[in-house]
Amino acid sequence: MTAAATTPAAASMLPDRSVCVLRHILERRAVSEPDSVCVVFGNGAQWDAATVLSESNKAGNVLYQHGVRHGQRVLALLENGPDALRCWWGTQMLGAVWVPVNPAYRGAMLAEVCQDTDPACIVSTAHGAALLREAGIAAPILDVTELVGGADAAPPLDDAIEPWTPASVTFTSGTTGRSKGALATYLSTYAVQEAHWASLLGPGDRHLVNTPLFHIGAQHPTMAALSLGAAVVFGPSFSATQWVEDIRQLGVTSAILVGTMPSVIENTPARDDDATLPLRSVVSVPMVREPQRFTARFGLDNLVSLFGMTETGVIVRTVDTAKPDSCGRVRAGADIRLVDDHDYPVSVGAPGELVVRTDRPWELAVSYIGRPEETNAAWRNGWFHTGDIFVADAEGDLYFVDRKKDYLRRRGENISTFEVEREVLAHPDVTHAACVGADDGHGGDDVRVFVVLAEAATIDPAALREFLLTRLAAFMLPRYIDVVDALPLTPTGKVKKHELRARPLGPATWQAAAR
């Protein structure tokens, strides 16, 4: 750290850049342990620390040649793999801000994330470039194949990269409207490493990443593994039938299960050799139904659950698997309250919105980039408001109750009902639409849409879904469609979604084939 940057008191609170800031993490590992494995790909290919630094340097120099500078944003529209890593790490070698975006986005959704983030450069494939141009995006687009052609030397650095330097913009699920880009620092990611991953990962460990890099569930353990001397394994997409074999074949010691994954794995038949897997740690969000049985089945040393958000990182962590319904207790260095609608604390056992602050500055996301009103609404009265309702017991264990924010979770993907409804309403015969969740039988949601048609109009629900194929990502497409005469409304004209959620599927409900 530069002497002018911090006082002695501040320096005592901050981690060294070599364990917190990505450029310095990669340089440290390449010098101290150049042959240590950092990345393993599903095809068995590996990158050691020296290779990771080399690939990152090359990509960073290409981006610099294309005008990217410290503090500017680079939007990535890429699938998981070597190209995505080059883009991420090359961007951060410059002190630029990495903006990973779901490559399934298209149309207005793409245009909006670009409008909010104002990228200096977009890195994508030829297919992605076509989608971007169709969406009317004018920002410079760099084909990802060019990132391998740069010089293998440390890229220029226009300014120091500090723990408080903005590092990434990760888009939320759009729970109260369209998706918002949470601007986070290096310190916010390091805080998750410090409070959570440091007890699970170390030299010789291999953490399986089979969730997309535009999710913090992939970003945070990747950063932690690099810093802590472990490796990340970019395996294939999650498959219940292949999960055990992927772990065995790729030497995985640590994995994360999110959404419906825990229940799916619990429901797969146990094998006699499950306990002989190299797997030692599992993070399960939510916690599996029978933690003790799951731990014994796989011979685990650690089974952990947690609660966190894109904006906060890990805030609540399991300390007692004897309470499988609990999300755990607040982590060290964070402060929480459960509050009413006026931000006053509720009593023990009463439901309240979880609000958060931290002891150390810059550990929470800084803002919703390009969205000042939403930023002010969420970061108010000195606390970040999660929009999620919990209750606390007398021991301080927290239990999730419900979401204030109106979103669904389908097969590990968060879905904004606002965005689904907007695209349904783009159909010329639809005048009103409401999207709600239908129980998928695994603790998640299937997408259900209620539509009201224009006067004298008719519509084939299958044709409506076909209309949405080019407008929505596949995971957002409705499984169920109900054509109704009217939606239930409040006196102020808002849809009573709780009434729609309570309606059973009936003979008039159109249903797509299960995927």
Burial of 82-97, coded b for 16+ CB within 10 Å and e otherwise, reads: bbbbbbbbbbbbbbbb
Regarding the domain delimited by 325-403, which CATH topology (the fold level of the hierarchy) does it fall under? Luciferase; domain 3 (2.30.38)
Q: Are 153 and 61 within 8 A, CB to CB?
A: yes
> Based on the number of CB atoms within 10 Å of its own CB, is 273 exposed (0-12), middle (13-18) or buried (19 or more)?
exposed
pTM above 0.85, yes or no: no
Decide whether 15-31+44-185 matches 410-511 in CATH topology: no
**Chunked mean pLDDT (size 10), the chain, 515 residues:** 54 89 98 98 94 98 98 97 97 98 89 95 97 94 97 96 97 65 97 95 96 92 98 89 93 90 85 96 89 95 92 89 84 95 94 95 95 95 92 91 70 76 89 88 85 91 95 93 88 71 92 81
**Structure confidence at residue 480 (pLDDT):** 96
**Structure confidence at residue 120 (pLDDT):** 97
**Structure confidence at residue 176 (pLDDT):** 43
Residues in the chain: 515
The class that CATH gives domain 410-511 is alpha beta
User: What are the residue ranges of helices labelled H in 163-215?
Assistant: 186-195
Four-CA torsion 244, 250, 251, 257, nearest 10 degrees: -50
Q: Backbone phi, then psi, for 111, in 5-degree steps? A: -60, -40
**Any idea where the domains of the chain sit in the sequence?**
15-31+44-185, 325-403, 410-511
- The residue type found at 462 is A
Tokens read off for 350: 């009463």
**Structure confidence at residue 179 (pLDDT):** 78
Residue 475 CA to its chain's centroid (Å) = 15
Helix (H) or strand (E) holding 335: strand 334-339
**Structure confidence at residue 413 (pLDDT):** 78
**Structure confidence at residue 504 (pLDDT):** 92
Sign, CA dihedral 476-479-482-487, equals negative
Which DSSP string do the residues of 375-436 spell out, in sequence order? HHHHEETTEEEEEEEEEE-TTS-EEEEEESS-EEEETTEEEEHHHHHHHHHTSTTEEEEEEE
**Structure confidence at residue 11 (pLDDT):** 67
For the chain, the distance separating the N- and C-terminal CA atoms, rounded to the nearest angstrom, is 52
Burial of 25-36, coded b for 16+ CB within 10 Å and e otherwise, reads: bbbbbbeeeeeb
Q: Is 217 helix (H, G, I), strand (E, B) or coil?
A: helix
Instruction: Give CA separation, 499 vs 205, 274, 406, in Å.
Output: 48, 44, 14
**Structure confidence at residue 1 (pLDDT):** 38
Which DSSP string do the residues of 461-488 spell out, in sequence order? HHHHHHHHTTTS-GGGS-SEEEE-S---
Tokens read off for 156: 């220029």
**Structure confidence at residue 6 (pLDDT):** 61
**Structure confidence at residue 104 (pLDDT):** 86
CATH entry, 15-31+44-185, from 3.30.70.360, 3.40.50.980, 3.50.50.60, 3.40.225.10: 3.40.50.980
The residue with tokens 């906060």 is: 312
Cα–Cα distance, 391 to 352 (Å, whole number): 6
**Structure confidence at residue 491 (pLDDT):** 43
Helix (H) or strand (E) holding 337: strand 334-339
Cα–Cα distance, 82 to 80 (Å, whole number): 7
| Cα atoms in the Cβ-side hemisphere of radius 13 Å centred on 35 | 0
> Based on the number of CB atoms within 10 Å of its own CB, is 44 exposed (0-12), middle (13-18) or buried (19 or more)?
exposed
Cα–Cα distance, 212 to 189 (Å, whole number): 17
